[in-house]
Every structure is written in C-alpha cells, then in structure tokens.
Structure 1
Amino acid sequence: MSDLLFPAEPTQRAIARELYALARDRPLLSPHGHVDPALLADDEPFPDPARLIIVPDHYLTRMLLSQGVPPADLGVPAVDGSPVETDGRAIWRRFAAHWHLFRGTPSRLWLERTFTDVFGVTTAFSAATADEIYDAIAEQLGRPEFRPRALFERFNIEVLATTESPLDDLSRHAKLAADGWGGPGGRVITTFRPDNVTDMEFDGWAENVARLGELTGEDTGSYPGYLAALASRRQAFIAAGATCTDHGHPTALTLNLTEAEAATLYQRGLDGTATPEDAEAFRAHMLLEYARMSIEDGLVMQLHPGSVRNHNRWLYGRHGRDVGGDIPQATEYLHALTPLLDAYGNDPRLRVVVYTLDEYTFTRELAPLAGGYAALYLGAPWWFLDAPEVLRRFREAVTETAGFYNTAGFVDDTRAFCSIPVRHDVARRIDAGFLARLVAEHRLPLDEAAETIVDLAYHLPKKVFKLGEQL
C-alpha cells in the first residue's frame, strides 16, 4: 500500500494505513459531476488519449492559457467558428512540453495516478516520453475493457450523477434506463440544474424560458405558469433518476418575496428591462421557491455559489462556458441564507448541501450554520479548493463545530471520467490522515475512527444525497 498523502509522523502514518484500508475498496458514489451522459449511453471507444484526458479538462487547459498557449492549440472546441487543433498526438506533445507548469498541483497528482492506476503506465511523463505514453494509452483504448461502461465497472462506481438543464430532453438518460443503467435507483442518474432558466443574466434567458413553456405545455409568459413548468420538469428529472438539484448562483443570497413582487421581477426579465439588481433579487427568491418545491418532491438542493462566471471574456467569446474562465470571489453566507433558513431551515424534510469557493467561511459561517440547522449540510471543497491541502484544512476547520455528520461526504465535480477513482482515493487518504491524528492524540478511539472513515467515504453521501439510504 502506498503512503501517498499519509502523515509523515510514523505513529499517525501507521494508523492512517489501517483506516484507509477500511475505506479503500468501498464503492464510489459520485453525486455531483459533469460527465457527459452520452459517454455511457453510447459506450463508444474513447477517440484518443488527448480527447479523453486533456481536451475536456479545464484544470489543464487554463494553466497552459496562463502561459500563453491558447485552448485552440489543445483542441478545445470553438463556438466562434475559428479553427482548433484536431491532431490528438500534436495536442499531447504540446501539453507534455508544458508539464513543468503543473509541479505541486493537484492536477499533476490526479493525472499521474490516472496514468498508473487506470492505464498501468509507470513511465514518468515528460516531453521525451510523451509519444511512448500516448501510444501505450491509445493501444489500450481500443480494447473492450477500456470502453466507458467497462471502466465504470472497474472503477467500482455505484452511482454517477450527471448534470442537465431543464431544457434537456434527457434522451441519453432514457437510453441508459432502457439498457438497465438509469432511472430511479439506477447507476447513472441526472441532476436538475435550472440556472439557464433562473438567472436573467444568463445568455438567452427569455428564449430559454419560452422553450421551457413549449417543452411542458405551460404558459411561461406568466409567473405562475413558469413555476408550474419548473415543477413539471422536476418530475421528469425524478422519473429519470434524479435525487438532487444544483444551483450555481453568483452569490448565496436568498430572499422571501411576495408572489406579486416576484411576478413583477419576472415580467421585467421577459420585457428585457430587468436590472442586475432585479436579476439578483429574482435568483435569490427562486432559491426559496426551489426549497419549497424540494420539500414537496424530495429533491436534495445543492448550492454552489461564489464563482464569477466567464470572467475571461475573450475565452468565453472564443470557446464558450465551462472552459476555465471562471474565478472565485468572496462569498457571504450568514445573512445571505437567513431568509431561506428562517422559512425552512428547521424542516427535516428539506436537505440543502452548501459548497463554497471561499474557504475562509468554513469556520466563521458555514460550520456554525450546518451545526445549527436541520436542513443544512456542508459540501466538500470543490473546484479551486479540491487540492489535498484544502481537503485537510476543511476537516480541521469544520469538525469542531459541525462534526463529521453535518458534512455530505466527497464529490468529485469532474468532467474527466478517468479521474473519478483517483479523486475519491485522494479524499479517502486525506480523511484517513486526519482521523489518524485524532486517534494518536487520544481524541477519538480507533474503533470510532474506523466507523467514521467508512461513513465519510460511503454511508454519508449515500444518505445525504438520497442514493439508497435514509437519514
């Protein structure tokens, strides 16, 4: 067993090995991520190593952009019609030439572990070995055991949640269900992500709302019709296996407006006269509407605030959304969430998992809130905070106030399918090390630490995200 990420102190390291062994082989639960469901629905061979590993991973492409290598040179699709590199080997070589940029980063850790654990490639990655490694991976991708569903089995994934808009026809999930992979209780399920019909500042919001009405047969020209259309799509998502919603708002603000006030804002949005303040107020109010709907239909809410989306306007104009142009901002939770918590925070029927890109709020706001409201749980560090150091700091910051059981377990939040087992393994190693320190300091008996690490790795996410066990 490798001692990767275990404490350097010998007593704690020995305990961490013992605890990690209990969690290492537990099935993986991926309740929040962005893997394309077509990958598993179609189950086609991966095209080449570059398109599998580099092109879809904005952790990788944004680093090279910071050093002057445009995403087009790495094969990232363009939305403005400009040409991009299509030669997988050329993309791979260009990436390898800049491998030194990733020294000390979690991206390097994940990628090296993907090479060794998924593909059995132990040669050190560099510009000199790029072709050798490319050929070794490419040869394996042609085998049946490296198709997406076969890898899903090998990775020991029990449930994988993808993320779709209410405007998605869910046809990929229908195919998965027909093949015995999807639907309620299925192995691949969807998540309801309504940002493009909730956020008036989203490009094409009014057109999206009109499409929502066409899809559901509801009159989205009126606010009550809009709410009815959203409720209808939530039922369609539940039928496709969804257990959660997800909300990627710029802030955590919630507001409890009257129906008349909300309808007025909604009409301004449709008329094209809404101000940025109107858009923020409408988003904030809709979080309460979504909480009300969740109490009725049982979907778990996930709130991912704090990202300034598409901050790199050039990148957005050339390549669109979700390609590495977003930047974290300071995010306030205590006052922002008060209207939602006043209305529903003590209702055990509601479950809200809150994430942050602002780790300074872990101790000051989020842990005390999760430790004081029945409806609130802390999501794992995500995106810019999913490095081993922050995973460790997260446990140190929140355990004192929220304990372990007001947290929701690990989420990988990835588009890079082959990195899923690696990311979960890193989280399990970090938790083993943290628990080992508690045991070594005589703050937690070994048998309770053993129970806790299994709960963190498996039982807690399964319960919190309603993947088969109930709280």
Structure 2
Amino acid sequence: MPTDSRADLLFPAEPGQRSLARRLYAVAAQLPIISPHGHVDPAILAEDRPFPDPAQLIIVPDHYLTRMLLSQGVPPADLGVPTLDGSPVETDGRRIWRRFADHWHLFRATPSRLWLEQTFREVFGVTTPLSPATADTVYDEVAARLAEPEFRPRALFERFNIEVLATTESPLDDLGWHAKLAADGWGGPGGRVVTTFRPDNVVDMEFDGWAGNLDRLGEVTGTDTGTYAGFLAALRQRREAFIAAGATSSDHGHPTARTLDLDPAEAARLYDRGRRGLADPADAEAFRAHMLVEFARMSIEDGLVMQLHPGAVRNHNRWLYARHGRDVGGDVPQATEYPHALAPLLDAYGNDPRLRLVLYTLDEYTFSRELAPLAGGYAAVYLGAPWWFLDSPEVLRRFRESVTESAGFYNTAGFVDDTRAFCSIPVRHDVARRVDAAYLARLVTEHRLTEDEAADTIADLAYRLPKRVFKFGRPA
C-alpha cells in the first residue's frame, strides 16, 4: 500500500469515512488480480521479450491518448500510429514522447492521466511529474527501467500479482501464442493466461471482409461454411478449441443488444443472402440478433460464460479509419436499449442457471433504469463493470450507487480492465478497489453495513466474484 501523499487517492475528504476507506482498501489492496476481459497481446507474455522504448509501449498503442491529441489537431501518424497505406509515420520514440508531453495538459482530470501517473509511480518508480520541461527526464527514467530484467513481461506479471489474465481472440486465430504459453506452464485450462472467444468478424455481415472470413473459418475447421449448418458446426468446433486453450468465456461486441430467436430455416435464408452479397443492414442486424440467442444455446451446452458488449458505433471517424484502420480511437458510444432487445434471449434462457450472461453498456443511463432490474430478476444475468468510455472513477462510483439497490453486489461480475496496455492493469484494478472502498465506507458510516460486512464485500468485489462468475476455479 502506498505510503506517500497519494495514499488517500480517491478516498473521501471527511476524516471518519477516509479512515474507514483506508481500512477497507487494505483488505483488497493485496488480493490477486483477476482480469477476465482484456486485449493484451498474448505474444507479449509468450515471447517475454523486453518492452520497446517508452513511446512504443505507452503512447503508440493507446487510443485513449492518441484520440485526445487528434481532437486538438495532432495527427496520429505524428505519434507513431501505423498507416494503412504505408505513408510516413514518426518512428523516433523520444520525439513522440516530447510531442505527447507538450500536450499533457489536455489530460487534466481524465482517467488517462490518473492511470499514467499511477503507472509511472507504482510500476516504474518514476516520481518526476511529466511536463514539456521534464519529458526527456521521464523518458530516460522509464527507458532505464525497461532495460532491467525485472521489467520483462513475465516478471511484471508476477509483480502485478495477476492470478488470471484473459486475452481476446477471434475464431480465425490459430491460438499459437496460447499453445506456447501452455507449453511453458502458463496457459491451458486453469492456466494463468487464457483466451476468450470473440466471433464478431464471422458473425457480423457488415464486418469488413466477412465473406472471406467465413471462407477462412471453413479452412481452419475443415467444414463447409457455405451453408448455415456448416457455419454453426465450425463455430462449435472453434469453441471447443478455445476451451481446450483455457477459455472460460465468449465475448460479443454487437452494435445493439437486440436478440431474435429465429426458426432455423429463416436463419439459414438470412445467412445465404449474406453469403451471396444480397444482405441489407436490416438483414445484418437480424442475423447478429439471432446469433446471440444461438450463442446462448451453445453456452448452455459447453459452459462458456457469455459477455455482451453492445453500444459502440464503430469507426465513426471515417478519415481515421481510412488512414489507420480499426481500433485506433475512431469509435463513439450510442444509446442502447436492453429490456425489449434482450427479451427473446431471456424468454428462452434467462432463468436457466446454466447460462451466465454478463451485460455491459456504454450508455450509463441504463444502469439503474434497465440493467440493474434485469440482473436483479434473472438467474442468468450479471452486470459487467463500466468499460471503455465509462471506466473512470466518477462512473465507477455512480455505477455502485445506481445498481446496488436493485441488483445488490452479488449480481455484478467484478471489475474488468478491458485494456491493451499491459502495464496499466494493476493501476486500473487499484482505482476500482479504491472507489469501492470509498463507497463501502459511506455505507458503514450511514449504518447500512457493518465494517465486517463491508470488508467481506470488498474482497468479493475485487477477487472472489470475478473468479466465480468467470469460472476461474475456487478462490484461493
């Protein structure tokens, strides 16, 4: 636990609550990290090579950072983000770092600044405040740490106290890096690094290259994906392969939460229209909606926890997408409706305890109005933590305030960091634990919980709940 002036970070100002928050945080602070949803490249841990220079590690892959600078007129290429057409990109890490430091003021009061400052201090031991004047000093201090054996990926994994880290791969991935991790004793069922089944690129007819992806899926599985029946067989085969590689969950990133339970013949007709290039947007939405129900059926059969991440308008910044591709900061949230959208799936399987459906949202207003009542009323439904545009201290606090009265604590699924930035994992989980400590401290001072109950609850939220919900074995 930190002993400097930032030890009370995110704790209440009122002295009594702050003292309680300290004690509750101490219960959770050293618990192992369960990271059930994220996007860390498994190659980082499989190869265990030293990280590149600070800019390539911290700035270039982090679209939270590059999109903010783009909003102030700094092109991503000037920050080292690769271009699709091979046009010039800044490759000098120090120049990228200086340009970022020149714009550090843009991040005041953002979670990105909070995470980065904590990463500098808690991961790298760098206490020099970042500014244009100190850019080179901070760069050199971080670079010096990266050259040390203790800062190789697997050594950091140990120091971060990560018990399980879930990555995310598509059905077209050969899972080679996970095979290497398993061979090294790090992966496979019950392993420390596991995969997650993310089938969007073969389910979404509007995904770039969808038809080609289906052909590739057929090649990978040796099935005829020219037919809907063959497509389903191929998906089941890949789910089996993912489970063999340690997967305990699937993940579905659809534009909406809509579900449909179509007759198999109608689903086959939709699939055929898509394969022949005749599907319109309504067809694509209907097929995605039907496949969510189909995946729920598969989850009941094979036991994978089902995660649904709806609500993102992908590639809204068309210039950014055309120049740099997907996942570089061009997406935005949209309003998302859940009760009517999920009704077909919940009518069929919502009360079946064999299904675990973890729901997320980018629409904060749905937490208390829609999602908490759903989680509080169906055996299969759990609430996922605020993610992406909502993974901030303010929303994490509002999340607890919004959902606890309807869903309680035990219909939630713990914190997810949802990050590609490996070095930010411990600080993101630490922020969530601090927010929960502050919230629970208030409940104790209001005589709504005893301190013993609050201590037990924060251990559940930080560790035991995500481990149980995502089927990572018995709590240690």
Bin for the TM-score computed over the shorter chain: over 0.9
2:280 corresponds to which residue? 275
1:10 corresponds to which residue? 15
CA offsets per residue over residues 206-242 of structure 1, 9 Å max, x none?
Answer: 1101110111011100000000000000000001100
Q: Give 2:400's match in structure 1, choosing from 380, 387, 395.
A: 395
2:100 corresponds to which residue? 95
Counting only pairs closer than 5 Å after superposition, residues 285-300 of structure 1 correspond to structure 2 as 285-300=290-305
Task: Give the match's secondary structure for 2:74.
Answer: coil
* Separation in 1, partners of 2:236, 2:269: 20
Counting only pairs closer than 5 Å after superposition, residues 142-221 of structure 1 correspond to structure 2 as 142-221=147-226
In the alignment, is the contact (CA less than 8 A) between 1:80 and 1:317 conserved in 2? no
Q: Give 2:382's match in structure 1, choosing from 360, 377, 381.
A: 377
Among the aligned pairs, what percent are the same residue?
Answer: 81
Task: Give the match's secondary structure for 1:335.
Answer: helix
* Separation in 2, partners of 1:417, 1:458: 19
Q: Could you tell me the TM-score, scaled by structure 1's length?
A: 0.99
* Separation in 1, partners of 2:57, 2:67: 16
**Structure 1 residue 267, shift from structure 2 partner:** 0.3
**Structure 1 residue 81, shift from structure 2 partner:** 1.6
* Separation in 2, partners of 1:258, 1:156: 47
Task: Give the match's secondary structure for 2:307.
Answer: strand
1:322 corresponds to which residue? 327
2:27 corresponds to which residue? 22
| Counterpart residue identity of residue 23, structure 1 | A
Whether 2:469 is the aligned partner of 1:464: answer: yes
* Separation in 1, partners of 2:81, 2:178: 25
2:86 corresponds to which residue? 81
> Any unmatched runs of 5+ in structure 2?
none
| Counterpart residue identity of residue 408, structure 1 | A
CA offsets per residue over residues 156-184 of structure 1, 9 Å max, x none?
Answer: 00000000000000000001011111000
Whether 2:371 is the aligned partner of 1:346: answer: no
Whether 2:233 is the aligned partner of 1:228: answer: yes
| Counterpart residue identity of residue 3, structure 1 | D
* Separation in 2, partners of 1:100, 1:71: 18
CA offsets per residue over residues 412-444 of structure 1, 9 Å max, x none?
Answer: 000011000000000000000000000000011
**Structure 1 residue 10, shift from structure 2 partner:** 1.2
* Separation in 1, partners of 2:358, 2:434: 23
* Separation in 1, partners of 2:278, 2:12: 57
Count of residue pairs the alignment pairs up: 470
Task: Give the match's secondary structure for 1:336.
Answer: helix
Moved over 3 A (4+): none
**Structure 1 residue 469, shift from structure 2 partner:** 3.1
**Structure 1 residue 80, shift from structure 2 partner:** 2.0
* Separation in 2, partners of 1:242, 1:77: 31
Which deviates further from its counterpart, 453-462 or 79-88? Answer: 79-88
2:254 corresponds to which residue? 249
Q: Give 1:406's match in structure 2, choosing from 406, 411, 425.
A: 411
In the alignment, is the contact (CA less than 8 A) between 1:370 and 1:378 conserved in 2? yes
CA offsets per residue over residues 182-206 of structure 1, 9 Å max, x none?
Answer: 0000001000000000000000001
Task: Give the match's secondary structure for 1:29.
Answer: strand
The CA RMSD over aligned residues, in Å, is 0.7
* Separation in 2, partners of 1:82, 1:120: 37
Counting only pairs closer than 5 Å after superposition, residues 110-129 of structure 1 correspond to structure 2 as 110-129=115-134
1:264 corresponds to which residue? 269
Task: Give the match's secondary structure for 2:138.
Answer: helix
Q: Give 2:114's match in structure 1, choosing from 100, 109, 118.
A: 109
1:415 corresponds to which residue? 420
Task: Give the match's secondary structure for 2:339.
Answer: coil
1:424 corresponds to which residue? 429
| Counterpart residue identity of residue 366, structure 1 | L
